[in-house]
Amino acid sequence: MAYETILYDVKDRVATITLNRPEKMNALSRKLQEEVVAALKEGEASPEVHCFIIKGAGRCFSAGYDLTPQPRPEGQEHMARRRSITDDIANLRGTVERWQTIWNLRKPVIAQVHGYCLAGGNDLIGVCDIIIAAEDAIFGHPQVRAFGLNMVHTEPFRMGPTRSKYMLLTGFNLSGVEASQWGLATKAVPKEHLEAEVQRIAGAMAQIPPALLEVNKFAVNRAFEIMGIRQATQAAIEFDAIVHFEDSCREFQEMLQREGVTRTLTRRDAPFNDYRTAQRKPR
């Protein structure tokens, strides 16, 4: 199958999916999401694939969902204001269901993270089975400052409540090292060793029969499902939809339409002196 926004390659029983919108910092458009799902299903159906790697082209893994404003049809400039909360829930649920393909996949998925992994990028990795990060990678949820929360709500299960709140009540970022220490990532390695470490792990999985990989993945997943991970995600979807109807979130949407992504996000982060507005400093 030919893809436009990702690269797909299979070698030595390992399928690699590369998010391939480097000019947009691998922003997660609807098309890219759908192509990731299609590639996962293609590999799941192939006896030549034992596991997957998902990584990003260019200077980062992903800066999050694609916020590029879409032109509104003439006469429908205020359509967004008439959309209902239930419509928004249905739309958000569709996004989450695409990512949950990874959680439900019969084969393990490794996330290889370098550079930024922000907002929706964390939704993607939140359902991956193993997350290997460069030590200087930057994980964060800056969207909590202006537009909502993370929908694939696995952070409390991986980091615990207080560390999750540290990120989600401030939008502060974590380095790859901090992310691994806090449980957000599996392991952090020097950037120059990232590719080799991910290949080492994938190579080990490639030697194990797929049925054993499947049952061990699903046994761990089932434990978290018993603890309520699916219900937590559903609650996050509903909370996200509710807050989108707050005046501050509507104003953020209007600013995106009026001023564009770069200017809007710069204005959002300027009071915090981080992300695009400053060099990351020790806290």
Render pLDDT for 191-224 as a digit per residue (tens, 0 to 9): 999 999 999 999 999 999 999 999 999 999 999 9
pLDDT at position 187 over 70: yes
Q: What is the pTM assigned to this prediction?
A: 0.91
Q: How far apart are CA 145 and CA 173, in angstroms?
A: 12
**Who's near 254: CB < 8 A, 6+ residues apart?**
none
Tell me what the pLDDT averaged over the chain comes to: 93
Indicate the domain borders of the chain: 6-277
Span 234-282, pLDDT tens digits: 999 999 999 999 999 999 989 988 999 989 998 898 888 888 765 544 4
Please report which confidence band the pLDDT of residue 88 belongs to, taking 50, 70 and 90 as the band edges.
Answer: very high
Q: How many whole angstroms separate alpha carbon 58 and alpha carbon 252? A: 28
How far is the C-alpha of 265 from the C-alpha of 116, rounded, in Å?
15
Domain 6-277 matching CATH 3.90.226.10: the answer reads yes
Per-residue confidence (pLDDT) for residue 74, from 0 to 100: 54
Query: pLDDT band at 146, cuts 50/70/90?
Result: very high
Give the three-state DSSP class for 117: strand
Which is nearest to 142 in space by CA: 36, 228, 41, 261?
A: 261
- Residues written for the chain: 283
Percentage of the chain with pLDDT > 90?
Answer: 81
